[in-house]
Structure 1
Amino acid sequence: MIRTLTAGLLALPILSGAAMAAPPPESLFLGTDLTTVRKTLESMGYRVREIGQDESGFEAEIVDGGIVYDVSVDPETGLIIFVEPDTDQDGDA
């Protein structure tokens, strides 16, 4: 009985890992226009602080679990090019 309880308690952090902050995976399709990219990110549970377009494509600044990430999306394919933690935290996407 104690072994079962201990094993269950040890597995608890692993099972609750889905609730931990995590960026979206690279190469995930988000959309080929800004509105769709925003809606897709929001439907995944991220809060979109800022989104826009520059010469390299779509750029979004998202928040998950208090962590801010910069997400870059190829506007032609709609795929995430890269995701990285926002190190400057100044509101720039």
Structure 2
Amino acid sequence: MKHTILYSAIGLLTLGGVAFASNLDGQYAGKSEAEITQQLESMGYEIRSIENEDDYLEAYALKDGVRYEVYIDPQTGKVIKIKEDD
């Protein structure tokens, strides 16, 4: 019984993080490192670094103890996808 409750709590925490992360898709994050940092920090992220990779800007960020990679289109400034970093 204790294991079931623990697994349920872990599942809820994971789903909560994924639900929040997917809400960023399509949102404007910025076109410059300074703008991206400001936008994501206003959403509660702590920015670790921003790199230009594979024609996208990748922001490596931390929120609520979870590491994320945020992929941003440099032409539109919109979030293409966000995923938990391994």
TM-score between both structures, scaled by the size of structure 2: 0.71
> Secondary structure of 2:83's partner?
strand
Shift of 1:54: 2.3
Runs ≥4 residues deviating over 3 A? none
1:7-26 maps to which residues of 2 (within 5 A)? 21=17, 22-23=20-21, 25-26=24-25
Q: Tell me, what secondary structure is at the counterpart of 1:39? A: helix
Give the counterpart letter for 1:30 in structure 2: A
Give the Å deviation of 1:43: 1.3
Q: Percent identity?
A: 29
Q: Which deviations, in whole Å up to 9, do the C-alpha atoms of 1:74-93 show, x marking residues without a partner?
A: 00000001100001xxxxxx
Q: Distance in 1 between matches of 2:37 and 2:51?
A: 10
Is 1:61 matched with 2:70? no
Gaps of 5+ in 1: 1-19, 88-93
Which is greater in Rg?
1
Alignment TM-score, normalising by the size of structure 1: 0.66
What displacement does 1:31 show? 0.8
Cα deviation per residue 1:41-64 (whole Å; 9 max; x = unaligned)?
111111001112124221011111
Letter in 2 for 1:46: Y
> How many pairs does the alignment contain?
68
Alignment partners' CA distance in 2, 1:52 and 1:42: 17
